[in-house]
A and B are shown apart, each in its own frame.
Chain A
Amino acid sequence: MTESPPPVVEMRGISLAFPGVKALQDVDFQLFPGEVHALMGENGAGKSTLIKTLTGVHTPDSGTVLLAGETVAFTSPGDAQQAGISTVYQEVNLCANLTVAENILLGREPRKLGGIDFKAMRTQAAAVLARIGVHIDPASVLESHPIAVQQLVAIARAIAVDCRVLVLDEPTSSLDAGEVAELFRIMRVLRDEGVAILFVSHFLDQVYEIADRMTVLRNGTLVGEHLTKDLDRRALIAAMIGRELGALEAIEDASERRTASGPVLVRAEGLGRKGAIAPFDLDIRAGEVVGLAGLLGSGRTELARLLFGADKATEGKLLVDGAHLHLRGPRSAIAAGIAFCSEDRKGEGLVADLSIRDNLVLAMQAARGWSRPVSRRVKDQLVEKYLAALDIRPANPDALVRTLSGGNQQKVLLARWLVTEPRLLILDEPTRGIDIGAKAQIQQLVTSLAAEGTAVLFISAELEEVVRIADRIVVLRDRHKIAELDGGSSIDEVVGLIAGEHLSEEVAS
């Protein structure tokens, strides 16, 4: 794709802040007709926010959006669609109980005598489906088709109007290889018709297969825009993950770290769950920090959830202290001394409408059962201890957790588990979305816990962080455990492994 035609979409100097977060800072973005443009970045990089700014869900604080050279200010997704920007989201946003034709033309049904002209509707829908080469009966009910076909219907719906820009937000996350190939065929057809396609995916292979150009975001800022052929995987990953320096010097240097030689505390033998994570072996020793590295969707969280019993394993077994532990749910893991801080603080971690005090003792209380309440005195002691130790603010035990900042919420969640004195602490993205000060405190805490003999499984999307604090790094890719590295490994080694087999080809060539 050459740059000869003018861009159909141009975003200049887009900034957008949410309370406490700068979601986008001075981001420029260009999209040309007849290209597939991939928007790349880790979670929280600002991809979704940028898309939502383009499609009128968010209004930028500053900056301009130009569509075909004219400044536009969409106030709703409807406006954007009117102007020719259609979006297909990761989840199929259609009505499963309506027919394919009804879904494609929902809200713009052909009319006849005040009613809907169903015959014309089916004809029109069939024409749209034919355009992208999908051969299904427009009169069939949507839910009678597999998810992949529903996704294609969503695309048909998006292009049924005059569509100049098609935004595909992670359309492939629930598709298998054959279905992805079909999707890509359709994307190419549309591209060749001159439609500009903005594509978001976490699967690098797919991005390299389909995208002509890519824009990389990190922490709400633009890192760069490149032609796909000019940017190899290693460079892309380095750009996405970045190197966050300074402000973290408080953490001891990796070279000072001892190699843990304590007894094996938790051992996974061929543990796996169909569709979530392929069977893996893993030893975690007392007093050791094991880092989990991998891109989003590589199975990091899935692995952690299996160790905690949050999901049931479909194969393999888990041994604690050498004895087989049959995990029937989180309770049995907790009883064995395993604790798990979910990455989804609000959804799976904290109980937002309860106080700091209640949240802090929840796990301990749950383990004791309802009939043996933790006494007020013990509660107050614990709360006082951890409010001070973790520097939780406000230091008011009656404050509702909902009112706390992200960093303080994370500390409350950590404290909940520290109260139970776990032997293995699993931390899934404990530093995501929190400020640098709280981040350094949490990293320091992990190091000191390990020094006291607690085993820690540390998951983070930031490789820098994983490499710095882990004694051993487990690398995951595409839901497989692919390697284990020593703590002294460099980021480059990890990046190389994450980038995958194509790296070796590049090296060889």
Chain B
Amino acid sequence: MKNRLLWPLLALAALLVLNLVVTPSFFSLRIQDGHLYGGLVDVLKNGAPTLLIALGMTLVIATRGIDLSVGAVAAIAGAVTCVHIGASGDAGTAFAGMAIALVLCALLGLWNGFLVAGLGIQPIIATLVLMTAGRGIAMLVTEGQIITVNNDPFRQVGAGFLILPISILISLAVLGLVALTTRKTALGMLIEAVGVNPEASRLAGVRAKTIIWTVYVFAAVCAGIAGLMISSNVSAADANNAGLWIEMDAILAVVIGGTSLAGGRYSLTGTLLGALIIQTLTTTVYTIGVAPEVTLVFKAVVVIAVCLVQAPKARAALSFRKVATT
């Protein structure tokens, strides 16, 4: 397990060192109005939605699945909440809106679970349905407009601070909760068993379908909370662009963290590292002044490098060279 996390840790350290070299002020922290500010805090704050979605994605991937619809679900959550809040400024309306949004997200997760576990459709296709249709639903909810709100309690979710950004506190709380429920109960082991061998698990009496269903609901709720953060951070719901491509970042985070897309063994700590790497990378692109037109290419190069050092073949070649030179 430690060995598996070594490479992501090194990659994260390397990125941070790169930032330190380019912008020496990157690590400096200052407290202003009881808030912590600094480059690292920005990474955490902006990485919170990705981390949250990646957590849900980790469990889905552990069951051999994948959920492409999380970005669209995030957009729906933001849209529903903002439309419900409207011009209101009070906390009650904000919380009601968020509650409605999350219940709706859970229903969308049920839908994904129904397609995958109930009907046996391949996860990538099953969730592609909602990935495409979800944006449309969000558009219907917002009637094609960008809905802006001015509601202070709602703004706290994505932009607020309790010394640290509230969004990262929420994500870390969910991480802790997931770690506890999966590792202190038997859920984690059962999820892994279903991911490694669904038929053997069924014949051993595991409720394989129920477990698969549950992880999709969880992933959708995570996506919903992430959507609230994204929307709250800008006090607006943008059906087209909120959470766009975030599913890709989340999947990358999971894979970089060492969880195999083939299902089975998963690592929540790995996913945390993966999400931090992705976000640090995005931040780095800005801080070291990569030209906007090559940003995506730069990201791709780093991701390929991280994946390569984790690939058994590449690692074997690497260690062979080490042996040969010494």
Contacts and interface: CB of A to CB of B under 8 A. Distances in A.
Interface residues of A, number: 30
A7 interface: no
A147 interface: no
A414 B72 CA distance: 46
B200 A348 contact: yes
Given A358-B189, A365-B190, A373-B185, A342 B203 contact: yes
Interface string B196-213: 110111111111000100
A353 B190 CA distance: 12
Q: Is the interface of B mostly helix, strand, loop or mixed?
A: helix
B291 interface: no
Contact of B197 (A310, A330, A352, A372): A352
Interface in A287-338: 308, 310, 329-331, 334
Interface residues of B, number: 22
B205 A370 contact: no
A374 to B, nearest CB: 7
Contacts of A334: 205
B10 to A, nearest CB: 25
A362 B188 CA distance: 12
B186 interface: yes
Contact of A354 (B187, B193, B211): B193
B49 interface: no
A347 interface: yes
Contact of B199 (A348, A353, A354): A348
A362 B198 CA distance: 13
Contact of A366 (B192, B199, B204): B204
B303 to A, nearest CB: 26
A340 B200 contact: no
Contacts of A347: 197, 199-200
Interface string A336-362: 000010100001111111100010001
B134 to A, nearest CB: 29
B202 A373 contact: no
B189 A365 contact: yes
A367 interface: yes
B45 interface: no
B196 A365 contact: no
Contacts of B193: 351, 354, 358, 362
Contacts of B265: 353
A350 B189 contact: no
B207 A340 contact: no
Contact of B204 (A371, A372, A374, A416): A416
A354 B190 CA distance: 10
Contacts of B313: none
A416 B205 CA distance: 11
Contacts of A350: 197, 200
A374 B186 contact: yes
B189 A349 contact: no
Interface string A352-390: 111000100011011111111110000000000000000
B196 A351 contact: yes
Which of B186, B197, B199, B204 has the most chain A CB atoms inside 10 A of its CB? Answer: B204
B192 A373 contact: no
Interface of B: 184-187, 189-190, 192-193, 196-197, 199-207, 211, 264-265
Nearest first, the 4 closest Cβ-Cβ pairs linking A and B are A366-B205, A373-B186, A366-B206, A370-B187
